[in-house]
Structure 1
Amino acid sequence: MSDDEARRMSAGDRREQILAAASRVFGERGYAGGTTDAIAREAGVSQAYVVRMFGGKENLFKEAAERASRLVLEVFRDTIAGFTGDETAHDKRMALAVAYTNLVSDRGTLLTLLHLFSLGHDATFGPLGRACFLNVYRATRDEAGLTSQEASDFFAQGMLTTVLLAMRMPEAAGDPAAMDLMSCTFGEHVTDLIQLTSMQAPLQPGSR
């Protein structure tokens, strides 16, 4: 896509296009390894266009991380909005878990969040990571109506899910130990999860 074609898109669509590309690049290469040039190639626009829109790599990573956190929050709130009030705590956690694992089709979202959390020492990204994490925790506890312990247990399971997905554990499904671990973690949805991860596309060679 040329810069002229990108400019003909709405401002919101242009930003989303580049942020989605940034999530894929930062997700695979991390903050240190990701570059505005690689992100521009992944988005199909010029590096100058990316810099004009976002002002540099630090702000681009910040916005990509905020986008990833927002996507998690949105799918949780959409799920919570469908609760009838008759659900048990287990029902709620399972519904939220399914909504979360469905995000695996956008691998960059999950990996961008992991990279953000690994930068807890950074003066800029540390506070952002904590704020993003706590926003999702508060929604899980307060809006879903879980107790603090129930929400904490759900997050513990969620982080295990994230780590298994990040290391592409479904690719080891032929190993009985891997299948046993994933079945305990994902329950009846383990087959769906393996299918979802098989559809994840890696970065194009020019964006690596």
Structure 2
Amino acid sequence: MVRMSAEERRESVVRAAMSEFAHRGYYGTSTEAIAKRVGVSQPYLFRLFPNKPAIFLAATHRCMKDTVQMFAEASEGLRGEEAVHAMANAYTKVIAEEPERLLMQMQVYVAVAAAEAAGDHTFGEAVRREWMELWDAVSVPLEGYKDTTTFLAYGMLINTLVAIGFPPEHRVWEEIYPSARAKGRLEK
């Protein structure tokens, strides 16, 4: 049996935490569930991370970093409208193939809002830094503030529609993907 290094085990904890937090949220996820998913004890989990907030922030960082990397790779060498389409297609593929990433993003926003409402700004400060990296990754190839705002606004709309369960053929998608109606794939 090959033993994992502490860094490999740490990464497996982050991936497991992303899955647990995606489905149960910050407050509904126990460190026991994360440890069990990874196959380690809770004391070992706390040797890798000092506490649950640190695990959540590491999972948040991984989720955001993966999304930033996806946008950067999709738009590499492209600018303007070509970059918009490449990044939109890449994101659409990710949320179809990795729904937990979308769920994790949504849970991050909920956790930040709840913490901020309680006067704890730790999550909010960290997530705002991560979000600015996302903003910058999108802004550079889109070459403009308005384009970045529009692109990310559509992304949040798509996140919401997917999260609340609108199927791809529903008419609500028409304005986002108008060509789909012409092809008869949208509900009337």
TM range (shorter): 0.7 to 0.9
Deviations 1:100-137 (A, max 9, x none): 22222232322222222231413100111211112111
CA contact (8 A) 2:139 2:145 kept: yes
Q: 1:109 aligns with which of 101, 118, 121?
A: 101
Alpha-carbon deviation of 1:151? 0.8
Higher relative contact order (CA 8 A, sep 6+): 1
RMSD of aligned residue pairs (Cα, Å) = 2.3
CA contact (8 A) 2:71 2:90 kept: yes
2:10 aligns with 15
Distance change in 2, residues 1:68/1:188 (3 Å): farther
Distance change in 2, residues 1:186/1:63 (3 Å): farther
CA contact (8 A) 2:6 2:48 kept: no
1:195 aligns with none
Alpha-carbon deviation of 1:185? 2.7
Provide the C-alpha distance between the structure 1 equivalents of 2:24 and 2:98, rounded to a whole number of angstroms: 15
TM-score under structure 2 normalisation? 0.81
Aligned: 1:146 with 2:143: yes
Provide the C-alpha distance between the structure 2 equivalents of 1:186 and 1:50, rounded to a whole number of angstroms: 44
Aligned: 1:48 with 2:43: yes
Once superposed, which parts of structure 1, at least 4 consecutive aligned residues long, lie more than 3 Å away? 186-190
Deviations 1:144-174 (A, max 9, x none): 142100110001100011112222322xx5x
| 1:181 alignment partner AA | V
Q: 2:159 aligns with which of 148, 152, 162?
A: 162
Distance change in 2, residues 1:10/1:44 (3 Å): same
| 2:121 alignment partner AA | A
